[in-house]
Each structure stands twice: as C-alpha cells, then as structure tokens.
Amino acid sequence: MNLKSNGNEENHVYQAQIHLFKHIYSFLSSMALKSAVELGVIDVIHKHGKPMTLSELVSSLKLHPSKVSVFYRFMRLLTHNGFFAKTTVLKAKEDGDDEEDEEVEEEEEEEEEETTYALTPPSMLLINGESPCFTTIINGLFHPSVMDMWHSSKKWFGEENEQALYESANGETFFNFLNKDSEAYILGMFQEAMAADSQMMKFALKDCNHVFEGLESLVDVAGGTGVVSKLILEAFPHIKCTVLDQPQVVANLCGTQNLNFVGGDMFKSIPPADAVLLKWVLHDWNDELCLKILKNCKEAISGKGKKGKIIIIDISIDETSEDHELTKLQLNFDLVMMTLHNGKERNKKEWKKLLYDAGFTNYKITPIFGFKSLIEVYP
Ligand code: SAH
C-alpha cells in the first residue's frame, strides 16, 4: 500500500491506524462484555427494575469502593457499545428507594446531577432466567480451551491434516470435550446456548408458518433439547415431532404426546417423516459429512415422494450485502465453525453445490432470521 499516493498522506495514514487499532483492540469490547456478565451488572439492573446510579451498582455488585472510578470507565465503554443507556438525573435527596417508611428530613442540598444506567435491547438478551438468554454463549466462547487455541494457529496452519484448530490445540475434538463425563456441565452449557438461539425462533415462526402447514410428521435432526420442536408444536399441535440427537443429550428428556426424543446418530440413520429440520447443524460439518447427513435426510423423506422436504436454518453468507456489519458477523461465525468443528458457514453458491451434490433438485433460500436464512429443500 502506498500511503503517499494522493498527496493526502497524513489523513490516509491516520485512517489506516484507526482501522488497524480498532481491530486490534476490539477484543477488549468482548472482554468487557464478558466481565459485565460475570460481575452480574445486567442481572442487578434488571432486578432493580429501574436505571441504577454508579454508586448503587458498586454497592449492589459488592465491588471494592476503591474501584468506583475504574468501574465508571468500564461502564463508559459498554455504554458506548450500546449495552447500557445512560441518563443524567438530579441526584436523589434520600437514600434507599424502597424505604419510604424511613423518611428523614434532610437539609436543603445543592442540586447535583448523576448518571443512571439502564439496560438496552442487546443487554436484555443477557438477563439470566429470561428467555432467550445468551450468557452461556459468552461462557462457552470464552472458555480457556477456546481462547487459548488461538495461540496454536501458526502451528495448525503448518499441519497437514483435517483437524480443527480446537482439536489441534487441545488434543480432542470440541464435541468430545463437550461430551466428556467429567465436564457434563459444559455439555449442559452448550445445549443451553443452543436452546437460547432456538428461543429466537418464536419471533420467526410466524414468518415461515407456510413451511410447516400440511405436515403430519417432522424429525428435528440434531435438535438438541427440542426447543424448536416445542415451538413448532405450539403453532401446529397435530404434527408428530421427533427430536433426534446424541443419546447423552436426550437421555433424561421427557417427551409429550406429539413430541418424542430419540437417541441416535444422524450419520447412520434418520427416522422417516414428512419433513426433516436441520437447524444450526450443517454448519458444524465439512461438505463430505454434510453430504452423509443430507443423504440420510433424503432417505427419511423418501416415502413422501415430492411432498417431503428438508427445512434448513443456517447462515447463508452474503458478501455482496450492503450491511457490512451483518456480513462481518456471518464471517466471524464461519471462523467459529472452522476453528471449533472444522465446519463452515456457506454462501449461496456453496449451498447450491452441496444440495445438488446430495441429489436434491430444488431449493429456496430466504433470509428471515436476522443473520440466518431459511432454506427449503425439495427432492
Ligand atoms: N438444532 C439445535 C442444536 C444445534 S447444535 C439448535 O439449533 O438448537 C448441534 C447438535 O448436533 C448438538 O445438539 C449435538 O449434540 C448434535 N449432534 C452432534 N453429532 C450428532 C450425531 N452424530 N447425531 C445426532 N446429533 C448430533
């Protein structure tokens, strides 16, 4: 790059430095968010029921009083990043919001302003106990084994194998790590994270009701704890839903009249149904393994002739989109899938190849889930 090319070199080099530093330091925004979750800032404001001042936060969170000024700067970044909304109010003359019975006459004070912090729509997605809640995604993505693997990326790029970075760095696959008995809570955390995303389906289902209309049966392949199937059943109670997942995932889950959990292996066989749902599944696997899954899906709907269908919910990367931030998120997801599972997020061309290679003849991609798409596939 020739920074001196157009006689405006200072401006160019400053812009280049800003761009570079923005990317170098962006991990601090992620880390600050992780700390806010760990400290319980979001839950405390939520429980309080109204915006909180800095001193109220410091005392509720039991931070050391010497940390007030650093906590202010921490909140300043998170507020700038859209996780808190700041309002300036006149300083209350009495302490203790709920202690009306203790009304004490105080001397007239100078009117002082203070700042209060409220939650915003993105931080409301991190309230523990509310649905959806994405704190488990933060806990999972920032697990030391996931963060530390990046120190091995140079070694990984030099290796001649198909291992994901996670496996190369940690000596086991990410799914093995999740499934280890001693780490059962990690598997639970992962399933919770997936369930949180699935809760988002309640906002999208009304836009894709047509996909489920007329179905008598559906298999939710690798459906985790069955959150999506339950939401589908709320709208279409007559559909017979089967959730297929690994035996250890569904072992203790109870079905209902029209919801059945089956432990199995989607690479071996998938129970027959009118339709197969694959939500956030194919992005975990490379093309070769996706073909195996898709061929088993095709077999599962084969009894339905042209009526059967596969319903995929996954990212379809659109690098031409004018929404640069959305594409960036999709490309980041691709790196998560690549480094954790050797999986991938696919663009339209890659979906087309994969689906045609699996023997399907017709499909339609509709971007309706924020950063994900609905992909309807027909035999
Ligand atoms: N569809 C769910 C879960 C997606 S996570 C949702 O969107 O919430 C991927 C799922 O694949 C996990 O639940 C994992 O247990 C499951 N899985 C991995 N290997 C599998 C296999 N061989 N057979 C069936 N399920 C599998």
In one-letter notation, the amino acid at residue 135 is T
**pLDDT band for position 62 (50/70/90)?**
very high
The mean pLDDT value of the chain amounts to 90
Q: Which token pair is 214?
A: 């007329």
Strand duo 309-314 + 372-378: pairing: antiparallel
The rounded Å distance from CA 310 to ligand 1 centre is: 16
Question: Is any atom of ligand 1 closer than 6 Å to the C-beta of 223?
Answer: yes
Q: What is the position in ligand 1's atom list of the atom closest to the CA of 278?
A: 1
pLDDT tens readout for residues 37-53: 999 999 999 999 999 99
Over range 75-100, report the average pLDDT: 80
Q: Note the pLDDT tens digit of each residue in 214-272.
A: 999 999 999 999 999 999 999 999 999 999 999 989 998 999 999 999 999 999 999 99
Asked if residue 267 has its Cβ within 6 Å of ligand 1, the reply is: yes
pLDDT above 60 (res 73): yes
> Is residue 250 lining ligand 1, measured as CB closer than 6 Å?
no
Q: pTM of the predicted model, to two decimals?
A: 0.88
Q: Whose CA is nearest to atom 13 of ligand 1?
A: 224
- Helix, strand, or coil here: 271? coil
User: Residue 88: beta bridge partners?
Assistant: 115
Is residue 226 classed as helix, strand or coil in its secondary structure? Answer: coil
Cβ neighbours for 36, distance < 8 A, ≥ 6 positions apart = 42, 74, 78, 83, 123
Q: Is the CB of 247 under 6 A from ligand 1?
A: no
Residues making up the chain, counted from first to last:
379
Between residues 250 and 5, the one the model is more confident about: 250
In short, whether 194's Cβ falls inside 6 Å of ligand 1 is yes
**Quick one: DSSP state of residue 322?**
S
Ligand 1 contact via 279 beta carbon (within 6 Å): yes
Determine which of 33-37, 205-209, 298-302, 364-368 has the lowest per-residue pLDDT on average: 205-209
Maximal CA-CA distance, the chain = 83
Closest residue by CA, ligand 1 atom 8: 194
Angle subtended at Cα 326 by Cα 320 and Cα 331, rounded to the nearest 5 degrees:
80
Cα 208 from chain centre: 21
- Distance of CA 324 from the midpoint of ligand 1 (Å): 30
- Verify whether ligand 1 is closer than 6 Å to residue 281 (CB atom): yes
Best of 186, 192, 194, 243 for a ligand 1 pocket test (most atoms within 8 Å of beta carbon): 194
Mean pLDDT of all residues in 149-174: 95
> What is the number of the ligand 1 atom nearest to the C-alpha of 244?
24
- Say yes or no: CB of residue 219 within 6 Å of ligand 1: no
pLDDT band at 32 (very low <50, low <70, confident <90, very high): very high
Distance 118 CA to ligand 1 centre (A): 36
Ligand 1 midpoint to CA 246 (Å): 7
Q: Could you give phi then psi for residue 33, rounded to 5 degrees?
A: -65, -40
User: Atom 22 in ligand 1: which residue has the minimum CA distance?
Assistant: 265
Q: Find the mean pLDDT for residues 134-147.
A: 92
Q: Calculate ∠ Cα 221-225-226, nearest 5°.
A: 60
Task: Give yes or no for a cis peptide into 122 (omega within 30° of 0).
Answer: no
How many angstroms separate the Cα of 61 from the Cα of each of 55, 58, 138, 342, 356?
A: 10, 5, 20, 40, 55
Beta carbon of 249 within 6 Å of any ligand 1 atom: yes
Q: Closest ligand 1 atom, CA of 194?
A: 8
Q: CA 54 to CA 141: how far, in whole Å?
A: 29
324 catalytic? Reply is no
Question: 19, 283, 324, 341: which is the annotated catalytic residue?
Answer: 283
- Determine what percent of the chain is predicted with pLDDT higher than 90: 74
Average pLDDT, integer, range 66-76: 96
For position 104, what pLDDT does the model report? 47
Closest residue CA from atom 16 of ligand 1: 222
The DSSP call for residue 112 is: -
What's the rounded mean pLDDT across residues 278-288? Answer: 96
Q: Does residue 112 have a pLDDT over 60?
A: yes
User: Beta strand 346-347 with 316-317: parallel, antiparallel or unpaired?
Assistant: parallel
Judged by DSSP in three states, 224 sits in: coil
Neighbours of 24 (CB within 10 A): 9
Q: Answer with the residue of higher pLDDT: 297 or 177.
A: 297
What percent of the chain is modeled with pLDDT above 70? 92
